[in-house]
Amino acid sequence: LRNLVLVLGDQLDLQAAAFDGFSAEHDAVWMAEVAEESTHVWSSQPRIAVFLAAMRHFARALEAAGRPLHYRRLDANDTQPTLAAQLRADLATLKPQRLLLTRPGDWRVLQALQDAAQAAGVSMELREDRHFFTTPQDFARHAQGRKGLRTEYFYREQRQRFRVLMDGDQPQGGAWNFDAENREAFGPEGPGFDLPQPPHFEPDVVTREVLDLVRRRFADHPGRLDRFAWPLTRAQALQALQAFIHERLPLFGPYQDAIWPGEPWLYHAQLSAALNLKLLTPHEVVAAAEAAVRSGRVPIASGEGFIRQILGWREYVRGIYWTRMPGYAEGNALQAQHDLPAWYWTGDTDMACLRDALKQTLEHGYAHHIQRLMVTGLFALLYGVEPRQVHAWYLSVYVDAVEWVELPNTLGMSQYADGGLMASKPYIATGKYISRQSPLCGSCRYRPDERVGARACPFTTLYWDFLLRHEARFANHPRLALQVRGLARVDEAERARIRAQADALRVP
């Protein structure tokens, strides 16, 4: 055997860089389902099922393409517990001259596979992943010599470099960013009866087999599988993309920050898992959105806002990840030490906003950005949960969670654990923010504008407690000082009440 091409669960593209020069006569493909990838964090059932089902469908695509495949199934008797152990075992029998690997999505996996190859005395060629606009080296060049990193500058560079939404050297529509026109909440009548629902991909026989396996083997893992309908093949992912561009992108911008109970998808793309598994390329997603804007079917504010998430944020967080790992994962700038409340794994809480976001997360493996940032993330930040535990939770529960994207979003953007590298300030707010974005406070036993007393909203109590705890650190912070100055109107007796109420909230 000349080359053995290693394909991981988030590298499911026949055109991946590791396949360049592939010869069915001399080369073969290796894929393995191993328990560790579902247990190193307590992965939810939907997340495990998405990865395994998509892998098994990709195995079929490889066979149809005539590429010889060595595939290890989790339900076989002779599997090893980790990717590295499985690879070592298979190298002993397959004896390839060389291993080919596209850069994985996880620093830990890269180290483990490189070590396994070295131990077996087989050389490994690491190829850059073409499923991104930029490489980690591009990002390092962008970051070099800059005091602070901000997505907005990076994003503008990306627009110019890849000529996206540009008219000559000017941004289309005369501005780089149209957020002032976005971020509305729904009126009291909600998102409307004609809210377009994303396509539902009924599990086929391959997927049903995986769902059974997950129910059996990972029975004690969080989450449910009875509403499982994710796109798992390239054809399904393309169908999901088309449906989004035509039906939901036109209103993506205005409602991207809105929350409505019982409506998980709203006008969001629901494409992150397909993108992260590499069933879609970001280039084709951005091109489809840009074409829709240019044709006049989609307003620029929605199209630009969506493209910024992919061409800007998605690339930016990956750059942070690969240029800062492994130390990045250890960040805890605010020295948060509390344990994650156990109800994050069940949704059993009286707080209506958290209950809604958590139940939906466990049911679908999905929550949209504002639910992740300003409901589950905000609560953990204000409560003072140890960032490592917050990270493990996010990596476990979402079907789109791969460490390169999950870690900077959680540790950096949401928990400020990197001290301000990703986000220019901690995203903190009282319950009033949630009451502006959703009707949830109306059905909650708490009141978002009360910070002490029996009906005080825990977000609001913990917000004031956060400011008290971090007053000295943020008193002169350019973007937070105004919020800290609000403490001037809180006398000592009220401060003591806030602290006592916050402490009581933290008693498990």
CA distance 45 to 330: 27
**Stretch of residues binding ligand SF4 (CB under 6 A), selected from 260-268, 301-309, 453-461, 490-498:** 453-461
Using alpha carbons, select from 179, 291, 209 the residue that is nearest to residue 242: 291
Kindly list the residues in this chain that would bind ligand FAD in the complex (CB under 6 A): 268-272, 275-276, 306, 309-310, 313-314, 317, 368-369, 372-373, 377, 394, 398, 400-401, 405-406, 409-410, 413-414
**Stretch of residues binding ligand SF4 (CB under 6 A), selected from 119-127, 202-210, 348-356, 386-394:** 348-356
Closest to ligand FAD by CB, 99 or 285 = 285
Tell which positions 164-183 bind ligand SF4, by CB under 6 A: none
Q: Which does 400 bind (CB under 5 to 8 A by kind): ligand SF4, ligand FAD, none?
A: ligand FAD
Q: Which does 164 bind (CB under 5 to 8 A by kind): ligand SF4, ligand FAD, none?
A: none
Cβ distance 247 to 196 under 8 Å?
yes
Q: Is 367 in the site for ligand SF4 (CB under 6 A)?
A: no
Q: Which does 132 bind (CB under 5 to 8 A by kind): ligand SF4, ligand FAD, none?
A: none
Closest to ligand FAD by CB, 158 or 410 = 410
Alpha helices in 135-204 (DSSP H): 136-143, 151-162
Closest to ligand FAD by CB, 330 or 471 = 330
Q: Which does 441 bind (CB under 5 to 8 A by kind): ligand FAD, ligand SF4, none?
A: ligand SF4
CA distance 454 to 434: 19
Tokens coding 367 = 């929550």
Closest to ligand FAD by CB, 364 or 451 = 364
Closest to ligand FAD by CB, 28 or 273 = 273
Cβ distance 63 to 87 under 8 Å?
no
Q: Is 307 in the site for ligand SF4 (CB under 6 A)?
A: no
Using alpha carbons, select from 387, 388, 396, 395 the residue that is nearest to residue 415: 387
Tokens coding 155 = 């994003």
Cβ distance 316 to 154 under 8 Å?
yes
Q: How far apart are the first and last CA of the chain?
A: 57
In the numeric block, the tokens 């901690």 are attached to: 426
CA distance 357 to 352: 9
Q: Which does 457 bind (CB under 5 to 8 A by kind): ligand SF4, ligand FAD, none?
A: ligand SF4
Sign (positive or negative) of CA dihedral 185, 191, 196, 197: positive
How remote is the C-alpha of 17 from its chain's centroid? Answer: 23
Dmax over Cα atoms in the chain, in whole Å? 79
The SS3 call for residue 196 is coil
Q: Is 434 in the site for ligand SF4 (CB under 6 A)?
A: yes
Burial class (CB in 10 A: 0-12, 13-18, 19+), 361: buried
Chosen residue from 307, 444, 467, 502 binding ligand SF4 by CB under 6 A: 444
Tokens coding 145 = 């010599």
Closest to ligand FAD by CB, 29 or 280 = 280
Cβ distance 410 to 377 under 8 Å?
yes
Strands 3-6 and 123-127: unpaired
**Stretch of residues binding ligand SF4 (CB under 6 A), selected from 68-76, 151-159, 226-234, 440-448:** 440-448
Chosen residue from 8, 441, 480, 484 binding ligand SF4 by CB under 6 A: 441
Q: Which does 413 bind (CB under 5 to 8 A by kind): ligand SF4, ligand FAD, none?
A: ligand FAD
**Stretch of residues binding ligand SF4 (CB under 6 A), selected from 182-190, 262-270, 409-417, 452-460:** 452-460
Q: Which does 410 bind (CB under 5 to 8 A by kind): ligand FAD, ligand SF4, none?
A: ligand FAD
In the bound complex, what is the minimum distance in angstroms from residue 307's beta carbon to ligand FAD? 9
Closest to ligand SF4 by CB, 419 or 442 = 442
**Stretch of residues binding ligand SF4 (CB under 6 A), selected from 18-26, 170-178, 225-233, 438-446:** 438-446
Q: Which does 134 bind (CB under 5 to 8 A by kind): ligand FAD, ligand SF4, none?
A: none
Closest to ligand SF4 by CB, 10 or 356 = 356
Q: Which does 369 bind (CB under 5 to 8 A by kind): ligand SF4, ligand FAD, none?
A: ligand FAD
Does an H or E element contain 404, and which? helix 403-407
Tokens coding 188 = 């009291």
Chosen residue from 431, 437, 467, 483 binding ligand SF4 by CB under 6 A: 431
CA distance 38 to 40: 6
CA distance 489 to 403: 42
CA distance 406 to 329: 11
How many CB atoms within 10 Å of residue 492?
7
Tokens coding 334 = 């605010």
**Stretch of residues binding ligand SF4 (CB under 6 A), selected from 247-255, 285-293, 349-357, 469-477:** 349-357
Q: Enumerate binding residues for ligand SF4 (CB under 6 A).
A: 351-353, 431, 434-435, 440-441, 444, 446-448, 457-459
